[in-house]
Amino acid sequence: MFDKILIANRGEIACRIARTCRTLGVKTVAVYSEADAHAMHVRACDEAWLIGPAAARDSYLNMERILDVARRSGARAIHPGYGFLSENARFARACEEAGVVFIGPPASAIEAMGSKSAAKAIMEKAGVPLVPGYHGQDQSPDHLAAVADEIGYPVLIKASAGGGGKGMRRVDSRAEFREALDAAKREAASAFGDDQVLIEKYLLEPRHVEVQVFADSHGNTVHLFERDCSVQRRHQKVIEEAPAPGLGTHQREAMGSAAVAAAKAIGYVGAGTVEFIMDARGDFYFMEMNTRLQVEHPVTEYITGQDLVAWQLQVATGGTLPMEQNQLRIQGHAFEARIYAEDAARDFLPATGTIRHMRTPAEGPHVRIDTGVREGDTISVHYDPMIAKLVVWDQDRTSALKRLRDALHQFIIVGTTTNAGFLARVASHPAFIEGGVDTGFIEKYRDSLFPPVSLASDHALSAAALFELLTVDREAKQRAVASGDPWSPWNLTDGWRPNSDNFHTLHFLDGEQDLEVVAHYRDDCYILELPGGECRANGELGDDGHLHMVLDGMHADAWVLRDGQKLTTVVGAELRELVVHDPLSAGMEDELREGSLTAPMPGMIRAVHVKAGDAVKEGDALLVLEAMKMEYTIRAFADGIVDHVNYAPGDQVTEGAELLAISSGD
């Protein structure tokens, strides 16, 4: 075994590789960019070297720097993880020339599979089934269009050098073909510097089923069964599982053998994945081979009880595979959900932000979390926005899926938008529960997976109100102790302001909706007037934002975090972002009568939809204010004529600033 290896990657996969190395007694060398100086993978390794600025091409893709660190640190081998240099044949060769072991297949195998077209030609020869299509050299648009006609629409245009769904276009009719071809070629040229494409029959409602293969340098090749990765957005995976639901033994064996044949056809060594696309009849076709460890390898580890990184290291040191085919068995069922910083409701737009709070389900035999970030870390624009992989296992699919749902509900991240709620909806969907997955799943069930936005529940509002009340109470008590006169009437908190019947009205903005909670002070609790009715409420608030609530005798745990005026509440699976707002102090209600609108909080004007003289109707959007990374639309409170507008897009405004004025138009 190696004494020391370099991990040429970052994030969760670097941490995951380091974990196996630790158990094997192999020392690890991390490399990091300037943006990652405090990243988790830097701490996870025995030593860490700075390799350059944040941009990947200057750091994680900088072959010379990485090889230089390998040489200087005395690392004998390099594990590339996935992404970055993992499928770069030139890097695999450069390692060889530098006398460092590349923990991956031979450069020739990477090259053979690097082009989807060339890979298909090899697979055709090896007798591996292919999707009907054209993967030849004649790239003239007329020829490609003729091929598409012959295959029959819909067809899929794919970049030969493709990956990550780039340079891929579905075409439904001849009329759309030329335009789609141009677009695919442009995208391919800019992403891969190569505009060669192939044309395939577009399969309707197919499944993505891939097989994990492993080979050593002594001629042994096995497969470790399949993974179903059909749940995808933008042709990229979000939930994977093993084994594939509903796959018969016969089919499993056929796919396994085809995958092994594919690996053998290119003299494969190490971990690889053969991706198949499967039609509704269960017929499967080769799609491509990934010559590295896949993101979703943990589901295979769970069902086989094997550590694939340990297998990779053993093979890379020249050892034989730890097991033969007939020793490998499937045990139980595993799911992986990829938790991304992204906004599912806005077409899965990647999000950024600093993780202020991260609560994860407890890890154990049934739950595994692979992550490379922790509280305080920033999800930046430089790298992949994946926060964590949540992996669960149980004896059967139904039990494993229940574990996935429970774990997703316990996965709470505050500070950036995540897809955790969306994943929980997928995991709860009746069609998914039945195992009815195909690559169009998200599109097909769009309506139920993206329910209309609801307002904060009474529980969420109770948590927000209790947080505010208990915080004021605590601050007053601290003030009282500090003042030396704990009994001074100025330090009382029952009612905030001395008012006759001891109540206080709290306002929370949920989106654009102002939700009101009236809190009446009692000796032993608060009576909260909530949208759904009254509730006797009390609670204990910890310094870390943990709130133990008692609502009409029911105990519940909540988390509340405050960032300026923004409150994030988490009760059960409900995560809410509310803005604490006091319309009186912001002057809004007073101003409304005067006919002008003021900024409810400091921020920046994002858009102005009206100008002086415009007639507006009650409810019309007037302008958009961005504050605390959220956008608020300021709307007309009544019909009228815009009198004047004081700001333009890009302007900063302070809280209470007059934004515009409306006259009644009489």
CB closer to ligand ADP out of 115 and 306: 115
Which range in 58-66, 195-203, 586-594, 619-627 contacts ligand ADP by CB under 6 A? 195-203
CB closer to ligand ADP out of 110 and 413: 110
Residue 549 in contact with residue 447, Cβ under 8 Å? no
Closest contact distance (angstroms) between CB of 128 and ligand ADP is: 15
Query: Which string of x and - marks every residue 167-186 that binds ligand ADP (by CB under 6 A)?
Result: -x------------------
Which range in 164-172, 368-376, 381-389, 577-585 contacts ligand ADP by CB under 6 A? 164-172
Which range in 105-113, 202-210, 416-424, 577-585 contacts ligand ADP by CB under 6 A? 202-210
Closest contact distance (angstroms) between CB of 467 and ligand ADP is: 44
Instruction: Give 475: exposed, middle or buried? Use CB within 10 Å, 0-12, 13-18, 19+.
Output: exposed
Instruction: Record the tokens describing residue 349, joined without a space.
Output: 């737009």
The active-site residue out of 10, 227, 292, 576 is 292
Known catalytic membership, residue 292: yes
- Binding to ligand ADP (CB under 6 A) within 285-314 occurs at 287-288
In sequence order, the β-bridge partners of residue 370 are: 389
CB closer to ligand ADP out of 426 and 560: 426
CB closer to ligand ADP out of 275 and 296: 275
CB closer to ligand ADP out of 46 and 279: 279
Closest contact distance (angstroms) between CB of 278 and ligand ADP is: 10
CB closer to ligand ADP out of 30 and 110: 110
Closest contact distance (angstroms) between CB of 230 and ligand ADP is: 7
- Binding to ligand ADP (CB under 6 A) within 424-453 occurs at 439
Buried b (16+ CB within 10 A) or exposed e, 112-136: bbbbbbbbbebbeeeebeebebbbe
**176 backbone dihedrals φ, ψ, rounded to 5°:** -90, -10
Of 622, 620, 588, the closest CA to residue 607 belongs to 622
Interface with ligand ADP (CB under 6 A), residue from 6, 197, 203, 293: 203
C-alpha to C-alpha distance for 48 and 246, rounded to whole angstroms: 45
Interface with ligand ADP (CB under 6 A), residue from 52, 206, 298, 640: 206
CA 524 distance to own-chain centroid: 43
| Residue in the block written with tokens 């970049």 | 159
- Binding to ligand ADP (CB under 6 A) within 101-120 occurs at none
User: For the chain, what is the radius of gyration of the CA atoms?
Assistant: 29
DSSP 229: E
DSSP structure string for 512-533 = TEEEEEEEEE-SS-EEEEETTE
DSSP structure string for 76-141 = -EEE--SSTTTT-HHHHHHHHHTT-EESSS-HHHHHHHHSHHHHHHHHHHTT--B-SEE-SS---H
Per CB under 6 A, 162 contacts ligand ADP: yes
- Binding to ligand ADP (CB under 6 A) within 123-142 occurs at 131
Closest contact distance (angstroms) between CB of 544 and ligand ADP is: 41
Which range in 161-169, 309-317, 612-620, 646-654 contacts ligand ADP by CB under 6 A? 161-169
CB closer to ligand ADP out of 210 and 370: 210
**385 backbone dihedrals φ, ψ, rounded to 5°:** -85, 25
C-alpha to C-alpha distance for 42 and 48, rounded to whole angstroms: 6
Instruction: Give 622: exposed, middle or buried? Use CB within 10 Å, 0-12, 13-18, 19+.
Output: buried
C-alpha to C-alpha distance for 636 and 618, rounded to whole angstroms: 5
Interface with ligand ADP (CB under 6 A), residue from 169, 208, 292, 566: 208
Residue 239 in contact with residue 427, Cβ under 8 Å? yes
Number of residues that bind ligand ADP (CB under 6 A): 21
Interface with ligand ADP (CB under 6 A), residue from 53, 136, 165, 332: 165
Which range in 159-167, 239-247, 356-364, 635-643 contacts ligand ADP by CB under 6 A? 159-167
Per CB under 6 A, 187 contacts ligand ADP: no
Closest contact distance (angstroms) between CB of 333 and ligand ADP is: 21
Query: What stretches of 484-560 show up as alpha helix (H) in DSSP?
Result: none
Which range in 194-202, 524-532, 535-543, 622-630 contacts ligand ADP by CB under 6 A? 194-202
Q: Where are the beta strands (DSSP E) in 309-440?
A: 333-340, 342-343, 349-350, 353-354, 357-359, 367-371, 378-379, 386-394, 412-414
Instruction: Give 589: exposed, middle or buried? Use CB within 10 Å, 0-12, 13-18, 19+.
Output: exposed
Per CB under 6 A, 164 contacts ligand ADP: yes
CB closer to ligand ADP out of 160 and 417: 160
| SS3 state of residue 17 | helix
CB closer to ligand ADP out of 30 and 244: 244
- Binding to ligand ADP (CB under 6 A) within 242-281 occurs at 275, 277
C-alpha to C-alpha distance for 548 and 555, rounded to whole angstroms: 7
Positions in the binding site for ligand ADP (CB under 6 A): 131, 156, 158, 162-165, 168, 200-203, 206, 208, 232, 235, 275, 277, 287-288, 439
Q: Active-site positions?
A: 292
